[in-house]
Structure 1
């Protein structure tokens, strides 16, 4: 198998494992884009929608639609800004925080399944090589 075929197979298998795990959990009705948005809100700690749009590299109208969908699912809430009453901050609800933890466990399961045939040394080498491919130097 060529390197390209191996990488494509690896990515396909990762997607398949994640999709199976998502369908068996409460994550099934959230898109990958919505999950990414939740994770970014969690990381940014109560961002303004404009900051979220910039971080996700999406337009403000797309962000508005995404925020509205997530608010309807009761996984985020819009909290008025104390400094500017026209603005609001995005907060995860308890359900949103639970979904973040659940998604993290799904990702851990994907990694576990993909690396189950590797010993610790091989896992270290794989981690090193993947990090090297992602470096921007």
Structure 2
């Protein structure tokens, strides 16, 4: 079961990374263009996000019909829907980092293969933030 989980994770990661590369979303300039609503706005990221809604909506419906996932003993779903101060501050920090760098975690890791220097800087800062959070809680 553990090996199957790793294989499924690898396949999902490759699909996600391939989709990022194919759609151009691993390019920070494309992301910054989307966020530049008062300048030369590039709406392509919106099409990618909305394009993800249909398969995700289908996946949620399929998940409701399943007793357990194919490669695990139970689903790992969030246990809360509470919007609290930590969530809001984290979202603001995430959005600020995304806006400044033009990268979020998926494109950041994909960028290591495409444009290593800025991507490695981003990923190092991302990992440092994760370590800082681990020791702050």
Q: TM-score, normalised by structure 2?
A: 0.33
Pick the structure with greater CA Rg: 1
Q: Which has the higher strand share?
A: 1
Q: TM-score, normalised by structure 1?
A: 0.33
